[in-house]
Structure 1
Amino acid sequence: MSWLSSVRKGIQSLTKRQTADNLWHKCKKCGSMVFTKEWEENLYVCPRCDHHDRVGPTVRFDSLFDRRKYEILPSPEVREDPLKFRDTKRYTDRIKAARSTTGDRDALINAVGKIESRQAVVGVQNFAFMGGSMGVAVGAAFVAGVTRAIELQCPYILFTAAGGARMQEGILSLMQMPRTTVALARLREAGLPYLVVLTDPTTGGVTASYAMLGDVQIAEPGALIGFAGQRVIEQTIREKLPDGFQRAEYLLEHGMIDMVTHRHVLKDRIGRLIDYLAPEKDKKAA
């Protein structure tokens, strides 16, 4: 076989993953081109500028639980499209498209496993599922996660990522704010910790409810966190807001959150917090 034939055969045998479209990843912040494999192995953090990209439940669970061993909790069954909502598309069609894209039933997925040898229930909001929006299904999943944590007498840890309440469910989506708050009251009555990890972005009704009720508020670097958007605030108060407003570092400086933690050390930090906050009976069970 000639050298030209060998080269041609090698090119033809390239897998889909090795094509020009997915061999490289372009950082959304600094624009650097990074090998996709390097980017993924770095937990989807740009090795050039440290930008923390958005990730879904599977990546979160794999990076957080010991030896990547965990059990996905079933999503509660809820009534879909209770208002028979339609804009440019039917709400049911939007849900089907989101499920097809993400593989998840809705925007909040729970799993149970061990973090640094300590049992915990972890919930992850997926921004890729209709902007991580909070609807009845998200509220039900949150309550289910808290209930499971109480049953197991372990902490509940939530990774938030949302654009706010789900408009297609109207007032029913806003009702999830007090509903989740009541669930957290039950968790506290049981003496169990609730840790929140705010990721990019966490906004709207989610911020106005369970996202800011943690015993400890952690944020990833550069995460956008707030209730109303910056442009809306500027138009309302008719003033220019400072640089970095609503970013994790600005909120830490002004006392709204407790710490900003890099994704590489997040598991260790959460493990330490569980050891510190978990009740004595949980430590004996471990």
Structure 2
Amino acid sequence: MSWLSRVRNSISFLPKRQTTDTLWHKCKKCGSMVFTKEWEDNLQVCPRCDHHNRIRAETRFAQVFDEGAYELLSSPEVREDPLKFRDTKRYIDRIKAARTTTEQKDALLNARGTIGGRTAVVGVQDFAFMGGSMGVAVGSAFVAGVEAAIAAHAPYIVFTAAGGARMQEGILSLMQMPRTTVALELLREAGLPYIVVLTDPTTGGVTASYAMLGDVQLAEPGALIGFAGQRVIEQTIREKLPEGFQRAEYLLEHGMIDMVVPRAALRERLIQLIDYLAPVREAA
């Protein structure tokens, strides 16, 4: 290494050199190379084929809340690795690895802020954390989100993204299905709306519980939504499934969800739904 390179590398304030890895983004669907800046300005949606990329919880919060401002809510403490599960590695080690990679406590985060000037509590499942899988921590965070919404007399909006229940927690993960359902009854008794936005992918026990219990069911374009996998269904019924089966557009056509909303229009649609489902009462 030359003395000039050593001096240049030692100066911390010099900007990092742009490379093909940082300058361009390759679409996972159509393979198009798009300027990263253009892709990010388009809310991480491919401008060529409209593929909605999976996004992190913090990014989702910034896109939904007014001026990207929000307060992250703390998640309840739960017992980790209650079954002392181990497959090729210990479950507790998988949790630690996921926390290191994502810098999150678990797969579901809640935040409070305003959407169109109205207070709302938003929960986001992050697929980057162990596939967004639902365990005791996710169930507890969901219940905490419902309680926060009731305390703030605000709607609870959840963005789902999950491979299903977390197998390492066995029956305890499945118990989160009735647990979250009961929590939603408390929300409805309080007269507050529950809005679900299904994102890619939403499957398994999450689909079989709180993901399909919204007062209004929205989905992002092209999102995979279902319970069992397509291959499992085909092997069970011994028939070929139709094209686009379990995609958001197919579910909309067959009445399983209410609307498919592009990411760019999602915030405005949520504002409309909040105003409709939780109108402001005028003082007498």
* Matched residue SS, 2:150: helix
Residue of structure 1 equivalent to 2:189: 189
**Higher mean C-alpha displacement, 169-178 vs 59-68:** 59-68
Q: What amino acid sits opposite 2:105 in the alignment?
A: R
Report the residue type matching 2:181 in the other structure. T
Counterpart of 1:144 in structure 2 is 144
* Partner residue in 2 for 1:25: 25
Q: Which amino acid aligns with 1:120?
A: A
State the distance in 1 between where 2:177 and 2:254 align. Answer: 25
Indicate whether 1:15 and 2:21 are aligned.
no
Q: For the residues of structure 2 that align with 1:280 and 1:55, how far apart are their CA atoms? A: 32
Residue 44 of structure 1 aligns to a residue in which SS? coil
In structure 2, the residue matched to 1:45 is 45
Q: Tell me which amino acid in the other structure corresponds to 1:15.
A: K
TM, length-normalised to structure 2: 0.94
Divergent runs of 4+, >2 A: none
Give the equivalent residue in structure 1 for 2:125: 125
Give 3-state SS (helix, strand or coil) of 2:159's partner.
Answer: strand
Q: Secondary structure at the match of 1:188?
A: helix
How far off is 1:140 after superposition? 0.2
Q: Distance in 2 between matches of 1:125 and 1:169?
A: 18
For 1:57 and 1:252, locate their aligned partners in 2 and report how far apart those are by CA, in whole Å.
Answer: 25
- Please provide the CA RMSD for this pair: 1.6
Q: Deviation string for 1:114-150 (max 9, x for gaps)? A: 0011110000000000000000000000000000000
Q: TM-score, normalised by structure 1?
A: 0.93
Whole-angstrom distance in 2 between the partners of 1:69 and 1:58:
11
1:218 matched residue in structure 2? 218
Which residue of structure 1 aligns with residue 104 of structure 2? 104
Paired residues for 1:59-70 under 5 Å: 59-70=59-70
- Whole-angstrom distance in 1 between the partners of 2:181 and 2:280: 25
Residues in 2 aligned to 1:86 and 1:40: alpha-carbon distance in whole angstroms:
39
The equivalent residue for 1:36 is 36
Q: 8 Å contact 1:192–1:279 — kept in the other structure?
A: no
Consecutive unaligned residues in structure 1, runs of 5 or more: none
- Looking at structure 2, the residues matched to 167 and 52 of structure 1 have their Cα atoms a distance apart, in angstroms, of 28
Distance in 1 (CA, whole Å) between partners of 2:88 and 2:23 is 35
Work out whether 1:175 is the aligned partner of 2:175.
yes
The 3-state SS of whatever aligns with 2:109 is strand
Identity of aligned residues (%): 77
Distance 2:15 2:234 in 1: 51
- Using the alignment, how far apart are the partners of 2:270 and 2:107 within structure 1? 23
> How far off its partner does 1:96 sit?
0.7
> In 1, Cα distance between the equivalents of 2:155 and 2:21?
41
**Counterpart AA for 2:24:** W
Amino acid aligned to 2:32:
S
Partner of 2:161: 161
AA aligned to 1:43 is: L
Give me the whole-angstrom Cα distance separating, in 1, the residues matched to 2:228 and 2:60: 27
